[in-house]
Structure 1
Amino acid sequence: MKRPTINRLRFLGALSIAALLSACAPDKQTDANKKEETGINTEQTKSTAQAPPLIDRQLLFGNPSRFQGRLSPDGKMMSFRAPLNGVMNLWVAPAGDIDSAKPVTRDTGRGIPSHFWALDSRHLLYIRDRDGDENWHLYAVDLDNNKITDLSPFDGVQAQMVAQSETHPGTVIVGMNDRDPRWHDLYKVDLKTAGRELLQENDGFAQFFLDHDLKLRLATESTPSGGYRVYEFADDDWLEVFEVDFEDALTTHILGFDGDNTGFYMLDSRGRDKAALVHYALDSGHKVVIAESNKADIANVLMHPRRHLPIAYAINFETNAWIPLDGAYTEDLATLEKQVRGDFNILGSTLDASQWVLYTDSAAAAPRYQVFDTRDNTLSTLFTTHPKLATLPLAKMYPLVLSARDGRDLVSYLTLPADLDQGGSLAAPIPMVLLVHGGPWGRDSFGFDPEAQWLANRGYAVLQVNFRASTGFGKGFVNAGNGEWAGAMHNDLVDAVDWAIAEGIASPDEVAIMGASYGGYATLVGLTFTPEKFACGVDVVGPSSLNTLISSIPPYWESFRSTLHAAVGNPDTEEGRKLLTERSPLHRADKIVRPLLIGQGANDPRVKQAESDQIVAAMKAREIPVTYILYPDEGHGFQKPENRLSFFAAAEAFLSDCLGGRYQPFGDDLKGSSVQVVHGATFIPGLQRALMNSKILATNTVEDTDE
């Protein structure tokens, strides 16, 4: 999930609603006009006189120059996403010759979010939905003629890429839920014609696994307790292999088959706290632990694409570290680590494992996509994602481990304004923004973060906390969040804020909370369960009611329903319904005494528009100020750069009014956006004026062409 901001109004005693509204209206607007001209909060002029120049929002939230670098499996070609007429499209070039790159797609809507290569090195595959509805279609680009084929040409259907094999070129295995929206049937699909052949009709399996000959071998099925069972397809029947209990369900996953298709690799937390890399032999049921750590779960595994053996694995506690498994690559990894600046992740390799594609990141510089050649141990750069940031004063990120009130370690990250940073500390407290990650089954990691850089450049300390239920730190840490939405999970965030105040990082009355998805929910919790703790909050696509959230999950989440009930609350029981109601910010909307900004995508299938509508309605009914921004062509988060820019422009003005930080004028940042301010434009300085000065038209996605 993600992040956002608002104005520090205090509701004191019997303060009248008229006085409350006036605090955001005419007088505020006069000061906002000064800000619009100068780009600086006039109350902060003295403290910001020596601050570095404002980094233009366009450089952080607009399209990157290039992104998502890939090598073809044979190593001869490279691909990446880059703007074409302002929209992220796919480009291809001979490996190492980026200047000759040409676009192979011409999307004119929200852009292409993700792509990968077919193992035949002739086809490029990508996914795309319609205006954020997450009904992903899978497309193939034939690089011989640049013809684009929709491999799942059915309206309202979600496609899932399941498998491919080097020994079956021109074929992919795809799941599609056109027969029953809850379950994805399994099809063999031809890359050229999109012709499909049914392999398995699905009436309850969550996942399928095929071996390297594309034979269907394994499937998983959810259990009522929230765990799952693994089945093997043998003798024309599904036979149970083993069961994974609920406590291991989020930390135990099958990775894929071994080289001779007789067993498989998995990340397995059963019988231990941290997920280990394990090999499971199907004939005997024998398990061998290949690698494990007492610090964190194994985060990633680099497999040899042809031999199907693990080459190395990664552990990500505070930062990412790679450890070799295959002795032939030990020296390669050691040499690579000496050459890389900052953290790195190995995204994949060519089929012969001779070239590895890396994402390298020092947090205080734009990330790079690089290629490490194991044949001569050379490291070359494909491209830098944001080259215009190279000369700008980016802030450092500091990993740290905080203690929750019950003693649990909370791996966190602190980013400070470059001009005030004294090696991770400050001479005096400053305003702070608590950025809360989504999921909640995800995590914050060390690395370049556009939002953290943006906020630090505007004069704020930025704290990101891996609260309990975050993944990567063992099943005990994940399961400590069960039943603790708005409970211990929120306490972890409060404890982190208290640490920042005690350390002289944050001013007690100048801390904002913002986030998206679960982070948006955490923002609403912060303003309703601890209403005096935060000066303001920014919520993007955050659920306001856990009851309606769970009752409206997409049909294709059916296999995850029991896990969701076990982790959050079960609406089928009286106790569960009571818990969900008690932990829903909607039912505490009358407690809000701080400004709130809400951003929502109208097509969000996970956190539906109703989640934002209903809390805004509750606040309006109680005459509590709130600003509500809606995007009719977005889903779970904002993908279009025009929409991102418009929202972060509003959030920046909101935060400046709330915390007193620096503020870049709106300028043209609403241009081309579909932004709709449903309520409360006057509560954000400069927003109403920017809307009046811009021609705001709702945009719709234009379909792909095969040109």
Structure 2
Amino acid sequence: MTRAPLPGISDYDWHDSSAGIVYLAPVPQTGNWHVHVTWLADGQTRDLTPIDGVHARLLARSAAHPGNLYVALSDDEVVTGDVYRVDPETGARLLVREEDSEGSYLAGTDLTPLVVQRFVAGGFSWAVLDADASWRDIGHVGPEDALGTVLDGFSADGAYAFLRDSRGGETIGLVRLSLADAGSEVLARDPDADIARIIYDPRSGVPIAYAVEDSRRRWTALTADAALALERLALLAPGDLDILDQSSDGRYWLIAFDSSDAPPAYFLYDRNSRAASPIGLTRPVWTDLPTVAQRPVTILNRDGTKLVGYLSLPPERKIDDTGKPDKLSPLVLVVHGGPWDRDRFGFAPVHQWLASRGYAVLSVNYRGSIGFGKSFVAAADGAWGTAVVDDLIDAARWAVKQKIAKEDRLALLGGAFGGYGALMAMARAADSFACAVSLAPPVDLIDFVKRIPASTPPLYHLFRARVGDPATARGRTMLSAQSPRAQVAAIGGAVLLAGGGRDPLVPLASLTAFADRLAARQVDIAEIHFPDEGHGLARNANTRAFFAAAEVFLGRCLDGRVEPVTADDIAGTSLAVKRGGVLMP
């Protein structure tokens, strides 16, 4: 339905008429984003903010002017900017507010209420616009809670804001904030896991249900009607329920069920008749392919901290009543990025791919992963290359101890932070891992943190507070010691290193210099470049080629199955093999 330049479409929603999709798309080679609409009937697309040099943000819908939207336009993404009401059908824009101050807007329908969020020394504050056109402070969030607190929605009458808020508790709770007097009330908080999703009544704007995720997603209703719906849906299909969207009157819910051995199945649920109509699967091609089940596991690290992970086994393995396989398998530990992200239960194509090649596959939520409380996140502060990496090592050793993995056939695979973690695990436990696949890893943390621009205050302060500050002697010492470039002498085994030519955070020159030093030590190093990619892979052709290279590399290292690479597998890719003779025909 839509097409946009890389890195693709962001922040999309239906037009009020349901006849089109409104979304943010990047303006090539500028770093700016514009608001677009694509009409489904004829595929016509209109740039609703066609002004050179501006950065656009979607703010709110209009009830007083049905179909209209409010957008903010500025010449800097950290400035509030001027607010316009836009008619997607005609493209007409009407200026409704002029402002040019640091921060970003959060708004209810017809800009009622209008809140500004300003970034302050690693945290942020909120202020609401009063009737006399003055801003009034309604809250402050410190650095320790900045990762876990977000203003999530407003009541329809503009009286309340609803927050996912970690202040005053260990986990992220659901909090109601009065915009009249800034008083707050905790509506819900789970003792073990963060609230990850909140569903609102579309008419009142009041929360009706929330979900937490520890090893699996769990929903809790806040109203009797929502409880009835959740009870009915629990019987509808296997997997973890996700409530994705709803009609403007709340009658219809778009839902999905996430299973580990099949792609998500989508349904339209009618809350009045309690009937669900199947819509389809996201990846129907998988229905004709053999898949394996993924199961949640709990791993105790060396400090006694519980780590939630997910394990998939090759299809040829038989499992006994205790969950143990009949034979050992080579293991690939897949490391998620972030680190402020997480692995979840559900269909994981990377797990399916690796299991089909004969590998046991393990993903683990190491310390620093989100979803398990703010102390779990904070445990990674200043410890990227130490405590966090120890969790990866402990997870692999757990798989050996549990008679799942072959001790001499352990590998790691990850991108960005995941690639960094893979390299550091190779250094901290060189005798444990045979090889690692590392995409876009920050091999020099001092340079990496310096490259995060001050023009993006949330990230700028986040990395300096939680990873290390290169402006201080202590920070430089810590960042240097925890950089892979400082651990070259300790790295053993084989390494496949990959990077993008347009990566603003990890330049190819730094990866090549790192690879040179590994090669000088006779490390088995392969290096591949994607000149047209940034910090990660956006083009499908490059993603396919990367995984083809990884498959050949892992097959050589772990003796797994390898599908022969054909010209079609690498058609359209920009991949360039710099060293190591990896795979390409």
TM-score, normalising length from structure 2? Answer: 0.92
Amino acid at match of 2:102: G
Please say which of residues 571-580 and 628-637 is displaced more in the overlay: 628-637
Deviations 1:161-215 (A, max 9, x none): 33324444343333455x236545353252232646373544432x321122224
- 2: CA distance, partners of 1:521 / 1:626: 15
Q: Say whether residues 1:340 and 2:237 are aligned partners.
A: yes
TM-fit CA distance, 1:278: 1.0
Counterpart contact for 1:366–1:389, Cα < 8 Å: yes
TM-fit CA distance, 1:639: 2.7
The one of 303, 323, 327 aligned to 2:220: 323
Counterpart contact for 1:471–1:478, Cα < 8 Å: yes
User: 1:406-445 counterparts in 2 under 5 A?
Assistant: 406-422=303-319, 424-445=323-344
TM-fit CA distance, 1:477: 0.8
Counterpart contact for 2:390–2:425, Cα < 8 Å: no
Counterpart contact for 2:434–2:493, Cα < 8 Å: yes
Instruction: Look up the SS of the partner of 1:508 in the other structure.
Output: strand
The one of 628, 637, 650 aligned to 2:527: 628
User: 1:70-89 counterparts in 2 under 5 A?
Assistant: none
The one of 338, 353, 360 aligned to 2:250: 353
Q: 1:266–1:461: structure 2 CA closer, same or farther, 3 Å change rule?
A: same
Counterpart contact for 1:152–1:194, Cα < 8 Å: no
Deviations 1:288-341 (A, max 9, x none): 222221120111011122221112111111111111112122212101110122
- 2: CA distance, partners of 1:451 / 1:233: 47
> Which blocks of at least 5 consecutive residues in structure 1 are unaligned?
1-89, 91-104, 691-707
Q: Say whether residues 1:188 and 2:84 are aligned partners.
A: yes
Counterpart contact for 1:211–1:261, Cα < 8 Å: yes
2:545 is matched with: 646
Instruction: Look up the SS of the partner of 1:657 in the other structure.
Output: helix
Please say which of residues 652-661 and 301-310 is displaced more in the overlay: 301-310
1:259 is matched with: 156
Instruction: Look up the SS of the partner of 1:653 in the other structure.
Output: helix
The one of 588, 604, 610 aligned to 2:487: 588
- 1: CA distance, partners of 2:16 / 2:201: 14
- 2: CA distance, partners of 1:493 / 1:458: 22
Counterpart contact for 2:62–2:70, Cα < 8 Å: no
2:399 is matched with: 500
The one of 267, 288, 299 aligned to 2:185: 288
Amino acid at match of 1:240: D
Q: 1:212–1:180: structure 2 CA closer, same or farther, 3 Å change rule?
A: closer
The one of 528, 535, 539 aligned to 2:427: 528
Deviations 1:12-45 (A, max 9, x none): xxxxxxxxxxxxxxxxxxxxxxxxxxxxxxxxxx
Q: Say whether residues 1:373 and 2:373 are aligned partners.
A: no
- 1: CA distance, partners of 2:229 / 2:93: 43
Larger RCO of the pair (alpha carbons < 8 Å, separation 6+): 1
Deviations 1:353-399 (A, max 9, x none): 11111121211112222211112111222121222322332111011
The one of 498, 514, 524 aligned to 1:599: 498
2:60 is matched with: 163
Counterpart contact for 1:183–1:556, Cα < 8 Å: no
Instruction: Look up the SS of the partner of 1:497 in the other structure.
Output: helix
The one of 113, 118, 129 aligned to 1:233: 129
Deviations 1:520-544 (A, max 9, x none): 1111212233333211111112211
Q: Say whether residues 1:679 and 2:573 are aligned partners.
A: no
TM-fit CA distance, 1:497: 1.1
Matched positions, count: 580
- 2: CA distance, partners of 1:337 / 1:140: 36
Counterpart contact for 2:119–2:457, Cα < 8 Å: no
Q: 1:118–1:611: structure 2 CA closer, same or farther, 3 Å change rule?
A: farther
Amino acid at match of 1:447: G
Q: Say whether residues 1:116 and 2:13 are aligned partners.
A: yes
TM-fit CA distance, 1:468: 0.9
Counterpart contact for 1:222–1:560, Cα < 8 Å: no
1:199 is matched with: 97
Q: Say whether residues 1:208 and 2:126 are aligned partners.
A: no
Counterpart contact for 2:54–2:76, Cα < 8 Å: no
Amino acid at match of 2:390: N
TM-score, normalising length from structure 1? Answer: 0.77
Q: 1:540–1:532: structure 2 CA closer, same or farther, 3 Å change rule?
A: same
TM-fit CA distance, 1:555: 5.6
The one of 343, 361, 364 aligned to 1:465: 364
User: 1:538-553 counterparts in 2 under 5 A?
Assistant: 538-553=437-452
Counterpart contact for 2:139–2:182, Cα < 8 Å: no
Counterpart contact for 1:400–1:414, Cα < 8 Å: yes
- 1: CA distance, partners of 2:361 / 2:254: 31
- 1: CA distance, partners of 2:42 / 2:63: 22
Counterpart contact for 1:627–1:677, Cα < 8 Å: no
- 2: CA distance, partners of 1:673 / 1:144: 31
- 2: CA distance, partners of 1:476 / 1:402: 18
2:385 is matched with: 486
Amino acid at match of 1:265: F
> What percent identity do the matched residue pairs reach?
34
1:300 is matched with: 197
Q: 1:148–1:584: structure 2 CA closer, same or farther, 3 Å change rule?
A: same
TM-fit CA distance, 1:617: 4.2
Q: 1:510–1:466: structure 2 CA closer, same or farther, 3 Å change rule?
A: same
Q: Say whether residues 1:562 and 2:461 are aligned partners.
A: yes
> Which blocks of at least 5 consecutive residues in structure 2 are unaligned?
none
Q: 1:283–1:215: structure 2 CA closer, same or farther, 3 Å change rule?
A: closer
Q: 1:428–1:449: structure 2 CA closer, same or farther, 3 Å change rule?
A: same
Counterpart contact for 2:331–2:359, Cα < 8 Å: yes
TM-fit CA distance, 1:618: 3.7
Please say which of residues 436-445 and 145-154 is displaced more in the overlay: 145-154
Counterpart contact for 2:426–2:436, Cα < 8 Å: yes
TM-fit CA distance, 1:217: 2.3
Q: 1:323–1:547: structure 2 CA closer, same or farther, 3 Å change rule?
A: same
The one of 272, 283, 298 aligned to 1:386: 283
1:519 is matched with: 418
